[in-house]
């Protein structure tokens, strides 16, 4: 990112065992990892409630969509509390099963692993909590979320091959389950991070070409193909500096989400994907040098026109607040020169 730019970051944190994605709160703070509570994510000092599919005004979408934007002065996270931007996690099961439930021990082990990793003071220590859980429950479906978290931690450590190995294991364990799409999107993101853009594009286009069920009851079976894979494909184009292609992909995904929203007004998780597409497009015009603040505001107004009184984290009000902050910070930088 250009030094003179402060962008609205669409960092996506995802929770690995069913597929809830969220974009962080609009605030100048670091991206936080998932908290010990399966329903919450810690963002800096602030705990942000994460809604599940079916909740109204949810901060997260189904298995792969952004739901918040925030401003950050630097692209790279500098605190351990921050997980790698844009890694998807499938949701873990709810904690707190009733006493005597056969899964009580497993749920407790999940909670201890997540809590320990959250409190870890080094990346190595964080990785150890995930590794210990995977070693203890290697064939459990609940190992898939930990594999996703471990892969993100390895990537932050620069252990890219280990991250790829873990994601391959998660893909094998997921089998033909619909959650394999999320694992493969993470694999494509790893390829993007490490510069293998052709393979990343091939993987994402393959996901986008997969059949989408007609029913919208299970968003985890729909969102990866229609929304999340296009978002990550746009990142590939951004890396190639083909910004027009990136915007086209985001616009198409947003249009599909908007049409589905109008056709299915009772499906509460759909509007966040419309807002997510606009948020990504706004990020894009702010990352181009020189940035296009007027274009960003036009997109925000277009979002307001399309979604009306939508009040999700990426709604018009939050985006305008971020843009105003962006302009103030940009003006301050100019004055300091």
CATH number for position 313: 1.25.40.10
pLDDT tens digits, 27-51: 222 222 222 222 222 222 222 222 2
How many whole angstroms separate alpha carbon 328 and alpha carbon 251? Answer: 28
- Whether 2 is in a domain gets the answer no
How many domains are there within the chain? 1
How many whole angstroms separate alpha carbon 24 and alpha carbon 184? Answer: 22
Q: What are phi and psi for residue 92, nearest 5 degrees?
A: -80, 160
- Whether 264 is in a domain gets the answer yes
Q: Sign (positive/negative) of CA torsion 27, 31, 35, 37?
A: positive
> How confident is the model at residue 55, as a pLDDT?
32
> How confident is the model at residue 233, as a pLDDT?
97
- Whether 1 is in a domain gets the answer no
> How confident is the model at residue 89, as a pLDDT?
58
CB distance 71 to 26 below 8 Å: yes
- Whether 237 is in a domain gets the answer yes
pLDDT tens digits, 212-258: 998 998 888 899 999 999 999 999 999 999 999 999 999 999 999 99
> How confident is the model at residue 320, as a pLDDT?
94
- State which residues form the domain around 137: 7-336
> How confident is the model at residue 316, as a pLDDT?
93
Task: List the Cα angle 15/170/155 in 5-degree steps.
Answer: 70
- Whether 154 is in a domain gets the answer yes
Residues of the chain with pLDDT below 70 are: 1-102
- Whether 204 is in a domain gets the answer yes
- Whether 213 is in a domain gets the answer yes
Q: Sign (positive/negative) of CA torsion 90, 267, 32, 75?
A: positive
The tokens of 112 are what? 């201890």
The three-state secondary structure class of 49 is strand
- Whether 188 is in a domain gets the answer yes
């Amino acid at each position: 990112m250009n030094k003179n730019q402060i962008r609205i970051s669409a960092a996506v944190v995802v929770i690995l065992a069913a597929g809830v994605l969220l974009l962080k709160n609009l605030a100048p703070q670091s991206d936080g990892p998932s908290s010990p509570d399966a329903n919450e994510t810690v963002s800096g000092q602030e705990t942000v409630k994460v809604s599940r599919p079916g909740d109204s005004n949810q901060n997260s979408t189904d298995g792969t969509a952004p739901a918040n934007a925030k401003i950050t002065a630097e692209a790279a996270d500098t605190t351990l509390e921050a997980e790698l931007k844009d890694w998807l996690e499938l949701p873990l099961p709810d904690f707190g099963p009733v006493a005597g439930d056969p899964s009580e021990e497993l749920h407790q082990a999940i909670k201890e692993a997540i809590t320990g990793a959250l409190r870890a003071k080094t990346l190595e220590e964080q990785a150890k909590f995930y590794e210990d859980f995977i070693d203890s429950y290697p064939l459990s479906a609940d190992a898939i979320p930990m594999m996703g978290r471990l892969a993100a931690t390895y990537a932050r450590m620069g252990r890219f091959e280990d991250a790829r190995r873990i994601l391959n294991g998660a893909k094998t364990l997921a089998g033909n389950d619909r959650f394999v799409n999320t694992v493969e999107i993470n694999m494509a993101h790893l390829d993007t991070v490490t510069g293998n853009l052709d393979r990343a594009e091939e993987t994402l286009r393959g996901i986008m070409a997969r059949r989408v069920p007609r029913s919208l009851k299970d968003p985890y079976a729909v969102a990866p193909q229609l929304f999340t894979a296009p978002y990550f494909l746009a990142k590939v184009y951004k890396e190639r500096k083909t910004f027009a292609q990136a915007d086209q992909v985001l616009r198409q995904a947003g249009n599909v989400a908007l049409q589905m929203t109008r056709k299915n007004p009772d499906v509460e998780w759909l509007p966040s994907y419309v807002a997510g597409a606009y948020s990504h497009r706004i990020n894009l015009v702010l990352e181009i040098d020189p940035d296009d603040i007027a274009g960003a505001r036009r997109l925000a107004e277009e979002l307001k026109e399309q979604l009306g009184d939508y009040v999700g984290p990426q709604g018009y009000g939050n985006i305008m607040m971020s843009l105003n902050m962006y302009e103030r910070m940009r003006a301050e930088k100019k004055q300091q020169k």
